[in-house]
């Protein structure tokens, strides 16, 4: 299910990612400071839009992981993930690692900002 969420999000955000890349290339080649600032503003707006659309997906992944782990014993979790003493705060790290499969990978900071407090690192 998580893989399907990532694939679907990548597909639906493809135009935004493509536009961001085009603007980043244009910014790299630009020499006029005013044009560079304008391009940076456009990139920031598109990035914010991208991350706002990613937030519900990241939350769904986090709650899905929490639900799966809630049904597993400590031994089952260790067998599957090789982790002991699992804490809810580890979920944000899992979501970050999963989101690294996206075409445009979000920063760890942006993923942490999306997570509810109980999933954030201590």
- Count the alpha carbons within 13 Å of 49 in the hemisphere toward its beta carbon: 14
Position 42 in a domain: yes
What percentage of the chain exceeds 70 in pLDDT?
Answer: 98
What is the model's pTM?
Answer: 0.83
Domain count, the chain: 1
| pLDDT for res 89 | 79
Max CA separation in the chain (angstroms):
60
The pLDDT confidence band at residue 100, using thresholds 50, 70 and 90, is very high
Position 122 in a domain: no
Give me the domain span that covers residue 87: 2-117
Tokens 């400590």, residue located:
74
**Of 103, 82, 106, the residue nearest 90 (C-alpha):** 82
Position 16 in a domain: yes
Position 67 in a domain: yes
Position 24 in a domain: yes
| pLDDT for res 122 | 55
Position 54 in a domain: yes
The pLDDT confidence band at residue 121, using thresholds 50, 70 and 90, is low
Q: Give the chain's count of helices (H) and strands (E).
A: 6, 0
Give the pLDDT confidence of 46-80 residue by residue, as tens digits.
Answer: 999 999 999 999 999 999 988 988 888 888 888 87
Position 40 in a domain: yes
């Amino acid at each position: 299910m998580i893989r399907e969420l990532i694939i679907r999000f990548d597909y639906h955000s493809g135009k935004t990612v493509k536009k961001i890349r085009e603007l980043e290339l244009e910014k790299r080649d630009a020499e006029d400071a005013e044009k560079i600032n304008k391009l940076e503003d456009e990139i920031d707006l598109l990035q914010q839009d991208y991350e706002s659309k990613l937030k519900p997906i990241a939350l769904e992944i986090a709650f899905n992981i929490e639900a799966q782990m809630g049904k597993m014993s400590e031994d089952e979790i260790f067998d599957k993930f090789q982790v002991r003493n699992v804490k809810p705060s580890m979920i944000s790290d899992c979501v970050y690692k999963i989101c690294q499969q996206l075409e445009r990978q979000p920063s760890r900071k942006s993923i942490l900002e999306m997570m509810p407090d109980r999933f954030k690192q201590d």
